[in-house]
Homo-oligomer: A and B are copies of this chain.
Amino acid sequence: MSATPETALAAPTTAAELDAAVEAAQAAFEQGRLADPATRAGWLEAVAAGLEHDAAGLVETAVRETHLAAARLEGELNRTVFQLRLLADEIRLGEHFDATIDHADPEWGMGPRPDLRRYNVPLGVVGVFGASNFPFAFSVMGGDTASALAAGCAVVHKAHDAHRELAARTARAVLAALEGAGAPSGLFSLVTGRQAGEALVDHPLVKAVGFTGSTAGGRALLDRIAARPEPIPFFGELGGINAVFVTPKAWAARRADILNGYAASFTLGMGQFCTKPGLLFVPAGQAEGIRSALEAALAGFTPARLLSPRLHAGYADAVDSLRGSAGVRVLVEGDFAEEPAPTVLRTTAEAVRINPELLRQEMFGPASLVVEYADEAELPALAGLLEGQLTTTLQAEADDDVTALAARLADISGRVLWNGWPTGVTVSYAQHHGGPYPATTSATTSVGTAAIRRFLRPVAFQQFPAEQLPEPLRDSNPWRVPQRVDGVWRHPDGAAREEQQ
């Protein structure tokens, strides 16, 4: 085998090594998909335990490579481990099969219906590209890899250059855990280098790609994948501006709280979250008050280095470009030192109507833009100037009439928050981490149990003998999965499961 963690550290993966990794992944996929859900869940849980076992070393390596705080990284690793276990529980339930059984029906309204049964099968080998800003939760064993493995796919992960040592160490823990749990060799592997990444998305055996990163990088991969002879799904999470709208009533009632919450959220993790609130729409006319409140809120801020020199340079360019735009002024002066102090810019609704691009400039770091509006009635139209967002937020009071604005926000984003802040993405059944382009390239989520569905496709079986049917489609239901039978859902153990919750 090629592409071991050690070679990943030593040198970029060669073309031959990449081929070998993908072919081994295909073989492991074909073997691994024969496993029942409990067995596969055991593999995920072994990986979770393996990561926990090496937690101290992983976090120490991550601190060194990413400059993120140890406590933040410990929380992220905890979240990553939790996610693996939640996905393991989910596939044990068998929700992801979407098992649907139509018995033969001679009286069916359009003419006799044959026995027809459908369930979801894994796509095959998945290529995953991790992000620099979440070295655990959106990287080697992050949401894309975990949900693809849960679906029954094999994964070839392209390590992010910003944390190659951590990637290799994570991969070692994962490989040892999978081997110990009896998973087929090749089910997961790590490759490094840009050329290997390109060869990965071009490879005919790769059936889907997951990506978390920049809009430019994501668009380049999207176009590359569109040029394949065989199109495949590309699940790209490209970024976010995460606009927050404050109504006049909320502003009057809670201005200090809102500005404190905003300051904490846009500077969290040095502003290097795809859910960082990059825009705050507030009533006009109180710039000086906002400035002094934000300066006070940011007084206790402890700056740190950004994830990489490349991101630092990109951050400085983005802030400089926006502050030099017509109609934009500095509200809170920051800097671009090695450990940058936060910057807040301000502009007006009038300026963004003239140049909506002001609303579309992601500043990946501790900076944000305050937009002053004159009239609450403008807000739905201002929201209409935004591109697709991962999240949008309403800061509103109970007696506000925000129906039109809330509808517009649901149109343009994957998650809408009420009186909260978008940083912090829980991993759960209802989570949706996605949003219209350019936030993401598909209508799927990369976080939560629903992320598994991305890596599955349906297959129907017509008039198959019972013993030839896959287990989830048998009337005897040996795996006790939910089945929709002749249109009606049946949940085995429903009562028992309800008690578990």
Residues of A within 8 A of B (CB): 75, 78-79, 82-83, 85-86, 100-102, 108-111, 113-114, 116-118, 121, 123, 222-223, 226-227, 230-231, 233, 398, 402-403, 406, 410, 413-420, 426-432, 434, 436-438, 441-443, 445, 450, 456-465, 468, 482, 484, 486-489, 491, 494, 497-498, 501
Q: A479: shortest Cβ distance to chain B, in Å?
A: 17
Q: Which listed residue, B85, B431, B459, touches A415 by the CB 8 Å rule? A: B459
Q: Which residues of B contact A100 (CB under 8 A)?
A: 429-430, 450
Interface contact B437-A116, CB-CB below 8 Å: no
- Indicate whether A121 sits within 8 Å of B410 (C-beta atoms), given known contacts A226-B226, A231-B441, A419-B463: yes
Q: Which residues of B contact A432 (CB under 8 A)?
A: 118, 458-460
> How far, in angstroms, from A123 to B500 measured CA to CA in the complex?
36
Q: Which residues of B contact A82 (CB under 8 A)?
A: 109-110
What 7 pairs between A and B have smallest CB-CB spacing? A226-B226, A443-B457, A432-B460, A82-B110, A100-B430, A102-B430, A118-B430
Interface contact B114-A85, CB-CB below 8 Å: no
Most B Cβ at <10 Å: residue of A116, A410, A438, A498:
A116
Q: A426: shortest Cβ distance to chain B, in Å?
A: 5
- Indicate whether A420 sits within 8 Å of B463 (C-beta atoms), given known contacts A102-B429, A231-B222, A434-B458: yes
Pairs A–B under 8 Å by Cβ, sample size 9 = A79-B110, A85-B109, A118-B450, A415-B459, A415-B462, A417-B461, A432-B458, A434-B458, A443-B457
- Indicate whether A464 sits within 8 Å of B110 (C-beta atoms), given known contacts A223-B226, A487-B429, A487-B501: no
Q: A132: shortest Cβ distance to chain B, in Å?
A: 21
> How far, in angstroms, from A102 to B445 measured CA to CA in the complex?
16
> How far, in angstroms, from A489 to B488 measured CA to CA in the complex?
13
A223 (CB) vs chain B CBs: closest residue: B226
- Indicate whether A431 sits within 8 Å of B118 (C-beta atoms), given known contacts A461-B416, A463-B420: yes
> How far, in angstroms, from A38 to B487 measured CA to CA in the complex?
18
- Can you tell how many copies of this chain the complex includes? 2
Interface contact B116-A458, CB-CB below 8 Å: no
Q: A246: shortest Cβ distance to chain B, in Å?
A: 16
- Indicate whether A443 sits within 8 Å of B233 (C-beta atoms), given known contacts A108-B426, A415-B459: yes
Interface contact B460-A414, CB-CB below 8 Å: yes
Interface contact B426-A459, CB-CB below 8 Å: no
- Indicate whether A459 sits within 8 Å of B410 (C-beta atoms), given known contacts A426-B113, A465-B418, A494-B488: yes
Q: Which residues of B contact A75 (CB under 8 A)?
A: 111
> How far, in angstroms, from A414 to B459 measured CA to CA in the complex?
5
Interface contact A428-B113, CB-CB below 8 Å: yes
Q: Which residues of B contact A223 (CB under 8 A)?
A: 226
Q: A17: shortest Cβ distance to chain B, in Å?
A: 25
> How far, in angstroms, from A437 to B484 measured CA to CA in the complex?
28
Q: Which residues of B contact A437 (CB under 8 A)?
A: 230-231
